[in-house]
Structure 1
């Protein structure tokens, strides 16, 4: 050990989660809430399911997507994608050690929101 390492102690000066880690955690939660809200709106916007029982009871169905709910869900997916990319950028700047967490949930958020935005953008253009 060098004199500097002995003066600093064990070399790990972190005392626990600092403000940046708490901010990253809150941004993670916010991204997941945005994604779940957007997915719920997209689920409510999809056409009614046509089954044999529905045809038997002659229940009227709406075969079209609800464009109003899609217009709300697309900006939510876009903001989830942008916020998760921003949070991922903060994570890359903050974590410098090999033992720091990878935050795989951010990569999943980017993937899910980008795919959902891509799929639903074609539906809202119709």
Structure 2
């Protein structure tokens, strides 16, 4: 059932724009976390690497993993604030339900749990 009444909203207000901006910032931080994770994670031991007897790093780089934790928790906090703002500002059935922000928060929490279990 769709709403048939008169639309009184002329434009998006400050809080809706803030929620959208926070969502964009959280996704950008997630992308930065992916880049930092690429450099902090152990290197993969491919067959060609073993063939040429190249040395492979098999441990996480601790300073980068500390930055990774900070970036991930900041992204989680920002996405949570965006969900709170969106919860109180989006009241109609046609408003955005912020599925991607919830998905981002779940991915970040799962990633932090993975890092806590696997980083020595």
Alignment pair present for 1:52 and 2:47: yes
Deviation of 1:11 after TM superposition, in Å, equals 2.8
Tell me how far 1:68 sits from its aligned partner: 1.3
Which protein is bigger by CA-based radius of gyration? 1
Q: How large is the Cα RMSD of the aligned pairs?
A: 1.3
Q: Deviations over 1:29-56 (max 9, x none)?
A: 1000111111211121111111111111
| 1:32 aligned to which of 20, 27, 32 | 27
- Of 71, 84, 90, the residue aligned with 2:85 is 90
Structure 1: stretches of 5+ with no match in the other structure: 1-9
Please give the alpha-carbon distance, in whole angstroms, between the structure 2 residues aligned to 1:95 and 1:51.
49
- Runs of 4 or more consecutive aligned structure 1 residues displaced over 4 Å after TM superposition: none
Q: TM-score, normalised by structure 2?
A: 0.89
Q: Does the residue aligned with 2:65 lie in a helix, a strand or coil?
A: helix
Tell me the TM-score normalized by structure 1.
0.85
